[in-house]
Amino acid sequence: MREKKKLTIADIAKQTGVSKATVSRILNGKPDVAPETRERVFRAMEEAQYVPSVFATQLNRGTSNLIGLLLPSLTWPWVLEVIRGVTEHLEHSDYEVILLTSTTPERTEKLFRKTVGSGFADGLIAILPPNTTSFIEDVYMSQFPLVVIDDREAHKTEFPSVVVDNVTAAYQATRYLLDRGHGMIGFIGGPAQLLCSQERYQGYIQALREADRSVHETLSIMSDFTQVGGYQAAKTLFSLPQRPSAVFAANDLMAFGVIDAAQEARLNVPGDFAVIGFDDIPQAQFCQPALTTVRQPMYEMGKAAAALLIAQIGGQIVREKRIKLDTQVIVRASA
Amino acid sequence: MREKKKLTIADIAKQTGVSKATVSRILNGKPDVAPETRERVFRAMEEAQYVPSVFATQLNRGTSNLIGLLLPSLTWPWVLEVIRGVTEHLEHSDYEVILLTSTTPERTEKLFRKTVGSGFADGLIAILPPNTTSFIEDVYMSQFPLVVIDDREAHKTEFPSVVVDNVTAAYQATRYLLDRGHGMIGFIGGPAQLLCSQERYQGYIQALREADRSVHETLSIMSDFTQVGGYQAAKTLFSLPQRPSAVFAANDLMAFGVIDAAQEARLNVPGDFAVIGFDDIPQAQFCQPALTTVRQPMYEMGKAAAALLIAQIGGQIVREKRIKLDTQVIVRASA
DNA sequence: TTGTAGGCGTTATCAA
DNA sequence: TTGATAACGCCTACAA
């Protein structure tokens, strides 16, 4: 109740008439302690509500049982899924998650210094903000346990990572549209410099080629992953002499924008114009019409990342460095 | 690049020919150091990429600059808003957030032991899972800096907390319906034992009374804050001899359920049946019709909680222990 | 089976 | 302005 003063191992030792060493041994379940002593000291600790100082233990052991989770932004709805996956996997270990969010490369690096660099965290799970290549290379080279989720840039090195096969996923999406009989299919992509944007575009092209469709340059518009971006891109598409009958938007937010534009243009979705998205964010099932999309298993990716990291920390040689998780077309009402 | 071996303050001291004490002083920006020395040592640290050991510092100072964020679950969409608020406020301090999630009271307490009890975190922001009253009382009594967000149970003690005025908010919602000319207004509440459920019910009643409306017991249904719960409650409402023309659902998820039921019953929302929700979760703007609801400013609550906690940690006497944030009716298409 | 003593890397106190 | 030195609380040889 009051526990004003913090108890130390010495207090317990004095109280039970043994040495600090013995208490420590008992604390850590070491062998070679008389059962009778163990019992007695245990009770004393219970009773006194003694909790060892994490600081001292950490200083001594050199590890913190803390895992950094570096997120570039908390505005994307799917990051919660990642967080859930990571924490849920860790729930049964004795690692805790320390949340690091940073929008700029500068702050990222500062955060890194404070946690990773000082050995404060035992490992790092990161969704990389753009332009952090060199920095993350350093982390990797320093042997620090690291797992990258959804690696969106091309790097010289291949970090341990958990990704989705964007090419295949985009292929699936396009293929789905093709199978539904669509002739002209538009593509609205993300920022061109992002690897994932490029890959999704590739998948789209690949599906078209495979179906012997000609690729019209004008049908592909690079946008910015935002809803208004999708809206504008859709308007461009609608103004084409020959309007496509369907579009694959490289993320759900843009797909929402497309639907907005379609409704504004009095186009029935999916009757007049079919839309498929990418991500499957929670909102996707609530919008009207509910969004058909390619699901990225963010929760599972978080889990896998945590598992991979723990393995690394445990010193295991991680064979399968790049884990690819499967995507899946979630058919709802928009396509 | 390699930094295999961890540098200590002693290394820097030796390297620059000063004592550890001096290096430490410089590290912490203490006065009484010859500018010339300071400069020299600074450069040495830079060059060697020296980072002080957090562990040692913590052990010495007895604080960690870590703030625990205890969340009962990561499945509610609005928790991300809270996380955002907290981390964003802390971004400019040098506190980091350690994420503690726990579904059960048992795990909550264990987590508490590991972090709070051991003095590992310097403070705690918590959204309390049900039935943690006694436990949180202990934390509070132990003088540990604590802020509760969205306190949902009645406690003997009044903890420092950031809440929303549920009564007023519910009043606003009901009032809105009243102003739109609705005669009979139903209420679908959350679990009766939750304080927030009771308060929202109060607000509903209060608005009716103030408008001299009679209160029909049958129009109030206590449910469970889930979508199916809302769906079922709505069906009950629809089966009444005299169907209400509008309903106030005590959270958005239930409101979604109500809309589902209405659509199933071929009732036009809001034409035949108006629905107002509570929370303003991200999905609310995407559902069809977009949900009119009372917005709880979760992001702002997170920010306020962080600010309040930091004040406490700084030893400030926190005058306004219970911070009440304003809610707002967000008018969209469902009512 | 148990106790003693030294170290982990800082910061703080007190002299110099 | 600086430098020894003693904490901080725990773990671990090594000795008993």
Give the minimum alpha-carbon distance from B61 to chain A in angstroms, rounded to a whole number: 10
Gap between the Cα atoms of B124 and B69, Å rounded: 6
Q: What is the pLDDT of residues B50-77, one digit of tens each?
A: 889 999 999 999 999 999 999 988 988 8
A143 touches strand D (CB under 7 A): no
* Chain A neighbors of B286, CB-CB under 8 A: 256, 283, 286-288
Separation in Å, CA B70 to CA A5, B26, B112, B145: 24, 36, 9, 13
| Cβ pair B13, B23 in contact under 8 A | yes
With CA atoms as reference, the chain A residue closest to B290 would be A287
B318 pLDDT band, cuts 50/70/90, is: low
- In A49-125, which residue ranges form alpha helices assigned H by DSSP? 54-61, 79-90, 105-112
> In the prediction, which pLDDT does B2 show?
39
Q: Cα B211 from chain centroid?
A: 33
Gap between the Cα atoms of B127 and B119, Å rounded: 20
Q: Are the beta carbons of B115 and A96 separated by less than 8 Å?
A: yes
Strand D, nucleotides < 7 Å from a protein CB: these are: 1-5, 7-13
User: B292-295 and B328-330: which strand pairing?
Assistant: antiparallel
Residue B197, pLDDT above cutoff 70: yes
B242 pLDDT band, cuts 50/70/90, is: very high
Give the up-direction half-sphere exposure of residue A240: CA atoms within 13 A in the CB hemisphere. 18
List, for chain A, all residue ranges whose pLDDT scores fall below the cut of 50. 1-3
- The more confident residue out of A143 and B155 is A143
Give the minimum alpha-carbon distance from A234 to chain B in angstroms, rounded to a whole number: 18
Q: What is the pLDDT of residues B72-81, one digit of tens each?
A: 889 888 899 9
Burial A30-64 (b: 16+ CB within 10 A, else e): eeebeeebeeebeebbeeeebbbbbbebbbeeeeb
Q: What is the pLDDT of residues B99-136, one digit of tens each?
A: 998 777 777 877 877 777 778 899 999 998 777 777 78
Instruction: Give me the phi and psi of A227, to 5 degrees please.
Output: -65, -45
| Lowest model confidence (mean pLDDT) among A133-137, B74-78, B169-173, B306-310 | A133-137
Write down the pTM of the prediction.
Answer: 0.88
Residues 13-72 on chain A lying near strand C, CB distance under 7 A: 17-22, 25, 31-34, 36-38, 56, 59-60
B192 touches strand C (CB under 7 A): no
Average pLDDT over residues B235-250: 96
| Lowest model confidence (mean pLDDT) among A191-195, B32-36, B66-70, B149-153 | B149-153
3-state SS, residue A259: helix
- The more confident residue out of B322 and A206 is A206
Gap between the Cα atoms of A145 and A316, Å rounded: 11
| Cβ pair B331, B289 in contact under 8 A | no
Residue nearest D12, CA–C1′ metric: A21
Give the minimum alpha-carbon distance from B236 to chain A in angstroms, rounded to a whole number: 24
| Cβ pair A71, A79 in contact under 8 A | yes
> In the prediction, which pLDDT does A246 show?
97
Choose, out of A1, A55, A252, the residue to mutate when testing the contact with B (most B CBs < 10 Å).
A55
SS (H, E, C) A155-176: CCCCCCEEEECHHHHHHHHHHH
Residues 12-41 on chain B lying near strand C, CB distance under 7 A: 20-21, 24, 27-28
